[in-house]
């Protein structure tokens, strides 16, 4: 990792060590002007939007962008508009110093870390203009976290407007967010190529997430229930299940075997629009799951038909399936014990 050699004095943040080779920008104007200059020099710009607390999943996005672009900018901004629970916003980790070091070591040359007032001058009052992406944001996370995707779409639209023509890198771990961003870019004609990158997992299958640091030891063990559930659903499909609700029941049953996990939803959906799958044949599919483990809400998903996933799934014991405490819907969804908040 590159040693910090510069110190920036940041409003509200004190002095922050900035690694050699990384430029830290704090204003929207500075970001827009810098990226205009990069494109004028015939450089391809890569954009990696994050909320900080960078982990191996973020680093994989940055490394992919660095391999495909001439200059990579990583944004570090905890976006208050996408949090419905003030407590969750307050608890979200802020680790700017280590984020800057991680971004540089993965290949970024620019970091954009604005204050909230820079992005939303009226804050804590909501901005007068927000962005909402209909349909694809309505179910699943949209239903569990009202207003969340409006916050996501608004901040991403602002970042796309500031960045200009670029490639933007998003992880498949937040699959519904990826779908929202793709629709946003297409509908508003942003000159942005949205690049999807595979989910990065721990050796035991848990998807990397900034929220994982809030899990205690027992909760960390229990959190693998989401992965085991997805494995069980994919195994059911590979084993000949022909009804979406049978696949979803396998996911739900496996998650609910874990006492510390509280299932919020499991679903088999069409990958393009995230509508519940009416059949297991035809369109590309995605298995989705969300659950609370202790105080932490986790989400995960897989392509249940992916060859590489089945190769890995074959090495994981799923312990069979049992009856689920939830009510399985007629089109491949299950929800249990309420919708929950953030």
Active site residue 148: no
- Alpha-carbon gap, residue 68 to 314, rounded angstroms: 33
Angstrom distance (rounded) from CA 157 to CA 196:
17
User: For residue 287, what are the β-bridge partners?
Assistant: 268, 302
Q: What is d(CA 70, CA 228) in angstroms, rounded to the nearest whole number?
A: 39
Q: Give counts: helices (H), strands (E), the chain.
A: 12, 13
Q: In Å, what is the CA distance from 197 to each residue of 26, 44, 188, 200, 298?
A: 27, 18, 22, 9, 19
Name residue 288's beta-bridge partners. 267, 301
Catalytic position from the list 55, 58, 148, 310 = 58
C-alpha distances out from residue 194 to 38, 60, 119, 259, Å:
19, 15, 22, 38
Sorted by sequence, the CB contacts under 8 Å of residue 314 that are 6+ apart come out as: none
CA distances from 209 to 220, 292, 299 (A): 12, 14, 9
For residue 133, the Cα-to-chain-centroid distance in whole angstroms is 17
Q: What are phi and psi of 31, to 5 degrees?
A: -65, -50
Q: Which residues are annotated as catalytic?
A: 58
């Amino acid at each position: 990792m590159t040693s910090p050699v510069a110190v920036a004095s940041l409003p509200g943040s004190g002095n922050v060590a900035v690694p050699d080779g990384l430029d830290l920008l704090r204003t929207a104007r500075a970001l827009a002007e810098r990226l205009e200059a990069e494109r004028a020099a015939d450089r391809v710009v890569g954009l990696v939007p994050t909320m900080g607390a960078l982990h191996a999943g973020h680093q994989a996005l940055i490394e992919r962008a660095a391999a495909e672009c001439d200059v990579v900018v990583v944004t570090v901004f905890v976006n208050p508009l996408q949090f419905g629970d003030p407590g969750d916003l307050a608890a979200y980790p802020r680790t700017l110093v280590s984020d800057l070091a991680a971004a540089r070591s993965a290949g970024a040359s620019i970091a954009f870390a604005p204050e909230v007032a820079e992005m939303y001058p009226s804050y804590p009052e909501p901005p007068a203009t927000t962005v909402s992406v209909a349909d694809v944001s309505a179910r699943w996370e949209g239903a569990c976290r009202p207003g969340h995707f409006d916050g996501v779409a608004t901040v991403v639209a602002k970042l796309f407007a500031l960045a200009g023509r670029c490639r933007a890198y998003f992880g498949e771990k937040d699959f519904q967010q990826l779908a929202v961003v793709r629709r946003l870019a297409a509908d508003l004609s942003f000159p942005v190529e949205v690049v999807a990158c595979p989910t990065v997992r721990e050796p035991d299958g848990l998807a990397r997430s900034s929220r994982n640091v809030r899990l205690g030891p027992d909760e960390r063990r229990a959190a693998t229930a989401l992965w085991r559930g997805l494995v069980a659903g994919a195994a059911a499909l590979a084993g000949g299940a022909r009804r979406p609700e049978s696949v979803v029941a396998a996911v739900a049953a496996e998650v609910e075997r874990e006492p510390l996990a509280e299932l919020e939803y499991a679903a088999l959906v069409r990958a393009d629009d995230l509508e519940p799958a009416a059949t297991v044949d035809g369109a590309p599919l995605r298995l989705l799951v969300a659950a609370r483990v202790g105080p932490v809400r986790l989400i995960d998903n897989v392509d249940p038909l992916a060859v590489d996933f089945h190769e890995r799934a074959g090495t994981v014991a799923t312990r069979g399936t049992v009856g689920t405490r939830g009510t399985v819907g007629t089109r491949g969804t299950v929800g249990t014990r309420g919708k929950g908040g953030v």
